[in-house]
Structure 1
Amino acid sequence: MSLKKKPLKSKPICKVSFTLTKDQAKGAGSVHLVGEFNDWDIHAAPMRRQKDGSFTATLDLDTGREYQFRYLINGEIWISDPEADKYAFSPFGDCENAVVTV
C-alpha cells in the first residue's frame, strides 16, 4: 500500500493516490476506499484493478486537513494502510484507522 500526494499550485487541493498491492489485496475481486472524505460510504470510491493485480484510486482532497480511511476488500474485510501518515483509534471497534495528512 502506498500514498502518493501531488499538491495543485492553482487550488488548495492535493491529488492523493491510494494503492493496494496485489499481495495486500490477496486475490480480491473488489476493493473500496472508504473514509471521512466520502462519509464512510462503502460504495463511493471503488478502486481500479491494475494489470499487475494491484488496486488504485486517486482523490482530490482539501489541503490543511487529515482524513481517516480504510480499505474494504470484497465487501467484508477491512484493512488499514501500513504506510499511512499516522493512525487513529476507531470508535466502532478495536481497530485503528489509517490517516492521510494533506
Structure 2
Amino acid sequence: MLERKQRKNRTDITFVLPADSPPGPVSVVGDFNDWDPHAHPLHVREDHTRAVTVALPLESSHSFRYLAAGDYWFNDESADGWAGANSLVNT
C-alpha cells in the first residue's frame, strides 16, 4: 500500500506492507535510490505493519519494487501503474 503526504516542495511516499508477509526483512528499491537494497529498509510500526517513507520530487514518476530475504523481488498491487516489470508511483 502507498500512503502520500503532499509537502510544499515534495511528496512523502510511505511504502507499507503487512508485518509478516513476506517474512523477514524487506526493502523498497527503485530509481529514487539507485536500486540500493540497503537505502530504504521497512521498519515495524505501532500498528504492526512495516513501512518506510521516501521524499520524492513533485510531479514525478518512479519505478520501484520490494526486495525481501532470499532475493525475492515483488511489486506493490496498489501501485499507480507499471513500468515493465516494475511498480510505478506518481507524485
Fold shared, TM-score > 0.5 on shorter chain: yes
Sequence identity, in percent?
Answer: 36
Matching of residues 43-82 of structure 1 within 5 Å: 43-50=38-45, 53-82=48-77
Distance (Å, rounded) in 1 between the aligned partners of 2:48 and 2:71: 19
User: CA distance change for structure 1 residues 51 and 7 in 2, over 3 Å: closer, same or farther?
Assistant: closer
Distance (Å, rounded) in 2 between the aligned partners of 1:57 and 1:17: 6
Aligned-residue CA RMSD in angstroms?
1.5
User: CA distance change for structure 1 residues 51 and 76 in 2, over 3 Å: closer, same or farther?
Assistant: farther
Distance (Å, rounded) in 2 between the aligned partners of 1:75 and 1:62: 31
Q: Which residue of 2 aligns with 1:18?
A: 15
Moved more, 66-75 or 50-59: 50-59
Q: Which residue of 1 aligns with 2:2?
A: 3
List structure 1 runs of 4+ shifted beyond 6 angstroms. none
Please list every run of 5 or more consecutive structure 1 residues that lacks an aligned counterpart in the other structure. 90-95
Please list every run of 5 or more consecutive structure 2 residues that lacks an aligned counterpart in the other structure. none
Distance (Å, rounded) in 1 between the aligned partners of 2:37 and 2:25: 11
Q: 1:28-85: per-residue Cα shift (whole Å, max 9, x none)? A: 2200110010000111111102355431000110011100000001151000000000
Q: Which residue of 1 aligns with 2:89?
A: 100
**Does structure 2 retain, via aligned residues, the 8 Å contact 1:47–1:55?**
yes
